[in-house]
Amino acid sequence: MDRTLLIVEPSDIVRTGLLSIIKASGLFKSILEATDIHGMQLAIKSLSTPLDLVLLNPSVCVSGSIHNLISGISGLAIVAIHHLPLDEVGTSPFHAAINLSLTSAQIETRLTKVLKRKHPESRITSENTLSAREEDVLRLLVTGCSSKEIAEKLFISPHTVITHRKNISRKLNIRSVSGLTVYAILNNFISLDQL
């Protein structure tokens, strides 16, 4: 099974323990570790294989950011790590939760359950090449079209244009229109006189 897991847990003891339990289960081929949100973001950016599951200690999230965080990686299965056997009410934004009083077997069962429920298309990939449609959007964007104009020209909804723009920026790691312009010229999507 070539699945990838990311563990986000500040406690070395807990993280190392989980790592060894999960390694022994053979559920994942590669396991990435992070101690905080920043580390998590770096890990997601550096992925070379799709990510299947995140084990996350909710305490690493600054209050209120948990929903932002989760909606930012929507579609991804997230399991909360609680140090105490908490009531499962507090885990609502998560797909499941584990705590320190569980046995190895119980942890394995919970993770297997979450993995089964998941659809393959919800995997986060680090595929960085633009699709043909994204190239169209980029071309129009850097020649000065607004999202609305792009939508009209390509016969798609403005909402779809925004999704394309988000994906372009995520794939290229360039967010500003002027930065995208430099990229577009470098890659011959447009020439200087089209600007």
Partner 1 sequence: MVSTGLVITATMSMANVVINDPRSLVLLPRFGIEFGFGDQTVEDICRSKGIDVNLFLLMVNTFLSPNYFPSKMLRYKESNLELLLVYLQKSHNYYLEVKIPKLHLHIEDFLSTAKHPAMLQLKAFFNEYIQEVREHISYEEQTAFPYIQLFISNNSDKALDSNYTITEFRKHHSDIEEKLSDLKNLLIKYLPPSSDSYLQVTILRELIDLENDLVNHARIEDKILIPIVEQLEQTLK
Residue 175: strand, helix, or coil: coil
| Burial readout 31-48 (b: 16 or more C-beta within 10 A, e: otherwise) | bbbbbebebbeebbeebe
Contact 20, 48 (CB under 8 A): no
Q: How far is the CB of 77 from partner 1 (least distance, A)?
A: 26
Per CB under 8 A, the list member of 16, 106, 187, 194 interacting with partner 1 is: 187
Per CB under 8 A, the list member of 1, 13, 84, 192 interacting with partner 1 is: 192
- Residue 38 as a binder of partner 1 (CB under 8 A): the answer is yes
Give the span between the Cα atoms of 109 and 38, in whole angstroms: 29
**Ramachandran angles phi, psi of 94, nearest 5°:** -105, 160
Instruction: CB nearer to partner 1: give 91 or 181.
Output: 181
Cα atoms in the Cβ-side hemisphere of radius 13 Å centred on 149: 9
Q: Residue 74 carries which DSSP code?
A: T
Site for partner 1 in 126-185 (CB under 8 A): 172-176, 178-179, 181-183, 185
Instruction: CB nearer to partner 1: give 26 or 72.
Output: 72
Per CB under 8 A, the list member of 25, 30, 36, 114 interacting with partner 1 is: 36
Other CB atoms closer than 10 Å to residue 8's CB: what's the count? 25
Instruction: CB nearer to partner 1: give 146 or 173.
Output: 173
Instruction: CB nearer to partner 1: give 84 or 186.
Output: 186
Site residues for partner 1 per CB under 8 A: 36, 38, 172-176, 178-179, 181-183, 185-187, 191-192, 195
